[in-house]
A and B are shown apart, each in its own frame.
Chain A
Amino acid sequence: MTHLWERLLEAKSRLAPVQSKYRVLFEDPATPDEPAKVLVPDPNFMAAALAGNVLPPIDTYQRDRLVPDGQPKEHPYAEPIGAMSEEEAIEYLVMKDIDPAVWRDYQGNRTIMKIVPVEMIPSDRSFRNAWRIMQ
């Protein structure tokens, strides 16, 4: 099995980047005074997700979160998974790049995460540090 990095390299040479029409808005319950964050999917990563046979199963990333630095990690050499839809790829990114405290463990009654079309993200950043998710 080739390393994930090599598969990404090969995919970038072959696939056109895909700009996602989605963004993920989220707030970290551990830092309630910080503004809402916006996850921006990478276009080359999205292209690899939509094409399939490049990215590892999401559970390998989740298990690797618990592996100490310097120890072998599972995701680079895991068997790649098949093609995803754009919506599945966004869910994959949520589980990969957002802390489980936001998308899995939060039990409060505020909405702290939303997947939204990119048009709903304000382009005027004048009050960027005051952004909150509308309830």
Chain B
Amino acid sequence: MSTLNVSNITDGTTTVGTSYVVNGSAKAWIFFQGTGTVNVLDSFNISSVDDNGTGNYDLNYASSFSSANISPVGTSNWRGVLTHDAYSATDTNLATREGGSSSKGDRGRLSVTVHGDLA
């Protein structure tokens, strides 16, 4: 792989520092099926998903973050509310809850994007 070593990127009018682009990129993402037999449909920088029970999943990162100060953001289909119950530099625990309730429920499609600094 070749490396382009530049500190700024410009289109001729607007210039942005390369560090903004790198730091602003999501470091991991996943799209997976949480019903039936749980299955990863597509992803990046994920090594595995743990199916812990109804509406309860762990994402394990291939290249871990430098600390637990990360920002996972996700959505699920059909009135699901995605909450992050615990996270560390190496994994994030997700729960899908029924809208307006604290009870967990499985969802067919879940998408999560994670921002943060890599180790």
- Residues of A participating in the B interface, judged by any CB pair closer than 8 Å: 2-6, 8-10, 12, 17, 19, 23, 34-35, 37-45, 48, 55, 64-65, 69-70, 72-73, 75-76, 93, 96-97, 118, 121-123, 125, 128-129, 131
Contacts and interface: CB of A to CB of B under 8 A. Distances in A.
Interface residues of B, number: 36
Contacts of A69: 66-68, 89
A129 B95 CA distance: 14
Interface in B72-119: 89-91, 106, 118-119
B85 to A, nearest CB: 13
Interface of B: 1, 27, 30, 32, 35-40, 42-54, 60, 62-64, 66-68, 89-91, 106, 118-119
Interface of A is mostly: mixed
Contacts of A6: 1
23 contacts: A3-B63, A8-B45, A10-B1, A38-B38, A38-B50, A41-B47, A42-B30, A44-B42, A44-B44, A65-B90, A69-B89, A70-B66, A76-B64, A76-B119, A93-B47, A96-B60, A122-B37, A123-B37, A125-B35, A125-B36, A125-B106, A128-B53, A131-B53
B49 A40 contact: yes
Nearest to A72: B119
A92 to B, nearest CB: 9
B119 A64 contact: yes
A79 to B, nearest CB: 15
A116 B64 CA distance: 27
